Amino acid sequence: ASYAPAVRLATPAVVNIYANSIVTERPLVVPENMRHLFPGAFGLGAPRQRLNQALGSGVIVSADGYILTTFHVVAQASDIQVALSDGRVTQARVVGSDRDTDLAVLKIEASQLPAARFADEDALQVGDVVLAIGNPFGIGQRVTMGIVSAVGNNRLNLLTYDDFIQTDAAINDGNSGGALVNAAGELVGINTAVFRLGEGIGFAIPAHAARRVLEQILAQGHVTRGWLGLDYRDLPGTRNGAGSQTSAPRGVQVAQVFLDYPGA
């Protein structure tokens, strides 16, 4: 089997992102009795500024130049360059961002842009083949393959709103913001993180959640959410009088109520 058709469909919409920011470094002040260990480092001096470049990826989601990427790639960037798959390089601006889901929306001005095709919201299953596309370590666009290991990971404490796809497709530095696509080349997630303590454990933000963030940012410049003041857990399987387990329990179990908030 070959996934070349899926790759040909998906890769034109995946871009490389180079986000530049100015970092201010304070001079190292060394005690008198240790200056012989740090020649040239003593003295107050003036703060030194240097250019820091973050590498990442992004996904073109509309033909008029809107791009989804991760917030941590472009956070505090003063200059963002986007390299398209056809070799063009253009400047991008941040339209809006959502730190709670680690997503940001960029805009570029260019013509004849390919846009990613979103997969159906409820189609993804554990065991599905997925491809991760991005710019690992800045070496250029690369594709890795794996399967969906889990969906609905919501107890990782990586973000305020955890809801991750887990995959064993290789995700490395520079892949953040890139595409996770299914075997048909349709977008199912935005790659965001990797679990450093284990091999083959990467995470992506579901594409349907990213699309809702995108729509709100384009409509009003930010994301609006309700706040109940409740903590909850998934509802355990309920049983009827005969002792058999129902197939689809509804709702969640309230685990904590925060005082003086709407839920109280």
Catalytically annotated residues: 72, 102, 176
Answer for the pair 223, 98: CB distance below 8 angstroms, yes or no: yes
Q: Which residues have CB under 8 Å from 50's CB, separation 6+? A: 22, 23, 25
Provide DSSP, 169-182.
Answer: S---TT-TT-EEEE
What is the chain's percent helix, strand, coil content, to nearest 5? 15, 40, 45
Could you tell me the end-to-end alpha-carbon distance of the chain, in angstroms, rounded to an integer?
Answer: 56
Provide DSSP, 139-150.
Answer: S--EEEEEEEEE
Give how far the C-alpha of residue 67 lies from the chain's centroid of Cα atoms, to the nearest Å. Answer: 12
What are the DSSP E strand ranges found in 99-207? 103-108, 129-134, 142-153, 164-167, 179-182, 187-194, 202-206
Handedness of CA 85, 91, 97, 99 (dihedral sign): positive
